[in-house]
Amino acid sequence: MAMHVISRFAPSPTGRLHLGHAFSALLAHDLARALGGRFLLRIEDIDPGRCRPEHVTGIIEDLRWLGLDWDEEPVFQSQRLPLYAQALERLKARGFAYPCFCTRARIAAEITASIAAPHGPDGPLYPGICRTLGEEERARRIAAGEAHAWRLDSAKAVALAGPLPWHDAAAGPVAADPAAHGDVVLARKDAPTSYHLAVTVDDAAQGVTDVVRGQDLFAATHVHRLLQALLGLPVPRYHHHALLLDDKGERLAKRAGSPTLASMRAEGVDPAGLVERLRAQRPLAFP
């Protein structure tokens, strides 16, 4: 029986794809194909400083080389900024977002000066410097054109959202703990959105039922689950897969000089054999 399944691969075009990306793309693709669903490609190009059009072309070439196909034209996040702006406005209107004027240096200094800076999965949390600014000061600094990001008032949001259950195919039932991430950025100083906001909005807008991605993004799902609750969006099933390791147990994606698919192709690697070896790695637990 065909299930209603939509999965996606959502690379950021900051470079060419590596084996780890290939593994993730393959798992997402195979999940949809096995269940008679659809597989989408979304290009996460909201970071103007790091994304390059030639990497988009390269990624598409790499995926085709692996023999993957996707349904529908690829979606580009850079063309969907109004959608994210709308979501941010909704969060602002309900008092869940505040402007943050801090520079990185200011945040670092504050963290160094504090006796016990709270830490999240990605390091020290934003120490909340701008959370307590008054409305008047905020309005004045924005009107004066001072550069600012927008942050989630996580304590307020969590208090209002209530319990946040989600399900991971490998980990089972999870209760989201978004407060552990602190006041994450919703819109950056240099981009009118952030990874967390854009990915949450898009997974819902594209009707994604199954998010397949690496274990390294497991913790980010706590934040996405909170944003889903605040924005009234459906909650997909999650499949955070193990990361490919090299023979020394080091993460492939982190290893300096780990080969790109493009370089493997140039060396004459047979893509069918490669895909077969990747598929043999770890089958995905189906929902």
Site track 18-47 with ligand GLU (rule: CB under 6 A), x = hit: --------------------------x---
Residue 12, interface with ligand GLU (CB under 6 A)?
yes
Piece of 6-14, 133-141, 173-181, 265-273 that binds ligand GLU (CB under 6 A): 6-14
Q: How far is the CB of 238 from ligand GLU (least distance, A)?
A: 10
Q: For residue 144, what are the CA distances in angstroms to 19, 83, 137, 148, 190?
A: 47, 26, 10, 11, 17
Q: Which of residues 205-264 bind ligand GLU (CB under 6 A)?
A: 213, 217
Task: Determine how β-strand 75-76 pairs with β-strand 38-43.
Answer: parallel
Which residues, 6+ apart, have CB-to-CB distance to 36 below 8 Å?
Answer: 2, 3, 5
Q: How far apart are CA 203 and CA 241, in angstroms?
A: 18
CA atoms within 13 A on the CB side of 121: 15
Site track 124-163 with ligand GLU (rule: CB under 6 A), x = hit: ----------------------------------------
Residue 202, interface with ligand GLU (CB under 6 A)?
no
Among the listed residues 5, 6, 10, 59, the single contact to ligand GLU using CB under 6 A: 10
**Catalytic status, residue 254:** yes
Q: How far is the CB of 76 from ligand GLU (least distance, A)?
A: 12
Angle between the N-to-C axes of helices 154-161 and 220-231, in degrees from 0 to 180, rounded to the nearest 10: 60
The DSSP 8-state label assigned to residue 247 in this structure reads T
- The closest of 284, 269, 286 to 19, measured between CA atoms, is 269
Query: Which residue's CB is nearer to ligand GLU, number 102 or number 184?
Result: 184
Annotated catalytic residues are 254
